[in-house]
Each structure stands twice: as C-alpha cells, then as structure tokens.
Amino acid sequence: MLQRPAPADGGARVVCGLNQRALVRDRVARGTRIPMPIKIPDNLPARRTLEEEGVLVIREHDAIRQDIRPLRIALLNLMPEKIKTETQLARVIGATPLQVEMTLIKTSSYTPGNTSAEHMLAFYQPWQDVADQKFDALIVTGAPVEEMPFEEVDYWQELTGIFDWALTNTFSSFHICWGGQAALYHHYGVPKQALPRKLSGVFPHDVVTPNSALLRGFSDRFPVPVSRYTGTRRADIEARPGLEILAESKAAGVCLVEDRNLRQVHMFNHLEYDTASLGDEYGRDVGAGRDIHTPENYFPDDDPTAAPVNSWRVHGHMLFGNWINDVYQHSPFDLDDIRDQSATGGEAREKAGAGRR
C-alpha cells in the first residue's frame, strides 16, 4: 500500500511502509484482488451511482485519516455531458485494487454549455490552479469538435499547454477519442482523416501486440464501442518512431496506440462507455436532424427500440485496470521525482517531424 513517508526519526515506519507497498505490488502483479476505494468529492453526482453499483468510494474526511498515498489522477473532461463521463471513468478507475484520488480539471478558455455553472464551480478546478502540482496520471477525454481543424478549437492553445505540462508534471497520460488524436497531432504531427460518414456502433477489434501489458487478459478479438467522424491512418502512426499500435479493427481502423517515449496511451474509441451511451448519442443526432445511420452491431436486430446488450464492459475494466497497475508499478513514490518526459521523447518527435516548422 502506498504509505506516506514517516518522519525522520521514525525509521521503523519507513521500513514497514516500504514492505507493505512491496506486498501490495506483488499481489497486484499476481492478479490478487485487494478492494480499495476511489476518492472523489463527497457531493459529486457520480458517487451515488457508483455506490449503488458496489464500487468502493471513500469519503474525503476518511481518506485524510488513512496512512496511504493514493494514486493522483487528473481528469480533463472535455465531453459535453460531464456528469455521465465522470461516472464512466470513475467506475473503471474505481474497480482497480488501488486507492485513487481523482481531481477534475477544466480549461479556462472555454465555458461548457451543457453542464451547469454550479456543477463546474463546485467540482472542477481550472488547470492553472493545479499547474504547480504533480500527478501520477492525466486522462484527457474526447470532445465534440473532431470535424474542426485542431487549431480552430477555442481552447486549442490552452490544451497544447496542458499536453506540454503533462510531460513534466505527470507520470503517464491516457487520451480518449479526439483527445488521442489531438495529443498525437500536437506531439508528432499525426493528422486525422474525415470519414465518409459517422462511424458508430460496436465493432470487433483484434489484438495486434499480444505481449502488451495494457492488453493483459484480453481475448484475441474483443468488441469496442466506436463513435467518431474521423480516423487516424495506420501508416501515419507507423511513420512515427516510438508509437506502437496495440489493437485495431478491419471495419473501424486503429483503436489503441501506446507511446513508450512519452508514457502515453491513445484510445480512439470508447471502452469506458455505458450500455446506453451509443443509443443516447444516436437519439441526439436524430433529434438534431443529422443524416445518421443506426449504430452497427448495437441494437438487437438493428431495432432502436430494443435494449442493447453490453458486450465490452469486461475489456473496459481490464484496459483501465492494466494501465492503472502499470502506473502504480512505475510511478515514483515522491511525485517530485517525476522526470521530464520531453527529454526522452524529444528525439523521436524530431525524427517524426514534430513541431511543424
């Protein structure tokens, strides 16, 4: 267990803490389940949902009393329905056998219109307010802006600042959907390509790199929810040193990419989605008058009135669990020891032509 360091005169406690941490790491490595809670704000709407589902959630005053250094994860939530996204990600993070403290952050250059100002004020901190802190990991979600050029997004300049900040202030980053495309474009100049129509549905994906720690426990082929208007070509990724494709689909293209140079994961699809997420998006698209197709392989018999069946949940938990485990195994106990990842990744980015002179 990650314990706080003992005072200078408490040598016995230091030894005990290190032994206990080693014990937990050994059990995690062997797959032994050690129920541990996720720490989120007491009044966050996601709390009730998670508690009803049996996810262990620790209250803030109880977490303070525990002699544990939890994993600190910052969530930059760019999705329009923020409460749903908070719940989805807290669910998969909270299912791991480690205590996690989730900090919600927001951009200052854009004010969301689909979430109440009261909610944003109560639970989100502007990125600038935490920029002097360090975290074990950062998660950046997707955003409904993928049809726009990156540079035309209102908060693009601030987002690129956050990407650069993460290189020195976080141990690892996990980017989802447009967030993954944006990070790859910023760091490596990898472009996104417009698709003929929105790609929506649940598609079979194949494991490309079976020895990847992120895919430990995965089936050779597994279903993944997809919801996007753009894609990223395999050739553009393979042309950048240090980027490795872990999973892809014949129908939906590249799904999962690992950047070992910068300790980043890019998932272009949505293993974190709820059962109803694709259906809710389909309903909004229809209501907005968009020329949209029924999500493929999602509704039974392609009947939008039929309740969909969740076939991807276990793989979503495995992916985030494997990532959290990897962060726990390698992130320094003292977050001040996080080194500048740009130093190790700079050469690869230069070779890939990053910086777009």
User: 240-297, pLDDT tens digit by residue?
Assistant: 999 999 999 999 999 999 999 999 999 999 999 999 999 999 999 999 999 899 999 9
- Domain match, 227 and 288 both: yes
- Domain match, 26 and 45 both: no
pLDDT at 152 over 90: yes
- Domain match, 195 and 77 both: yes
- Domain match, 42 and 15 both: no
3-state class (DSSP) for residue 112 = coil
- Domain match, 259 and 314 both: yes
pLDDT at 149 over 90: yes
Domain assignment present for 56: yes
As given in the structure block, the two tokens for residue 144 are 């409904």
Rounded distance between C-alpha atoms, residue 236 and residue 213, angstroms: 24
Domain assignment present for 71: yes
* 211: number of Cβ within 10 Å: 7
- Domain match, 166 and 136 both: yes
Domain assignment present for 356: no
pLDDT at 96: 76
- Domain match, 92 and 208 both: yes
Domain assignment present for 195: yes
Number of domains in the chain: 2
- CA 68, 74, 79, 81 dihedral sign is positive
Mean pLDDT, rounded, for 336-347: 68
- Domain match, 14 and 119 both: no
- Domain match, 148 and 251 both: yes
pLDDT at 31: 45
Confidence of residue 168 (pLDDT cuts 50, 70, 90): very high
CA–chain centroid gap for 123, Å, is 18
Q: Which domain holds residue 5?
A: 1-31
Domain assignment present for 39: yes
Which H or E run contains 73?
A: strand 71-76
Mean pLDDT, rounded, for 324-353: 73
CATH number of the domain within which 310 lies: 3.40.50.880
> Which sequence positions are flagged as catalytic?
177, 270, 272
Helices (H), 126-195: 127-130, 156-169, 178-188
Domain assignment present for 178: yes
* 1: number of Cβ within 10 Å: 18
As given in the structure block, the two tokens for residue 207 are 């494991």
- Domain match, 347 and 212 both: yes
pLDDT at 19: 35
Helix axes 11-29, 313-330, angle to 10 degrees: 150
End-to-end C-alpha distance for the chain, whole angstroms: 46
- Domain match, 9 and 118 both: no
- Domain match, 17 and 40 both: no
Rounded distance between C-alpha atoms, residue 47 and residue 30, angstroms: 29
Contact predicate 173/137, CB 8 Å: yes
Confidence of residue 11 (pLDDT cuts 50, 70, 90): very low
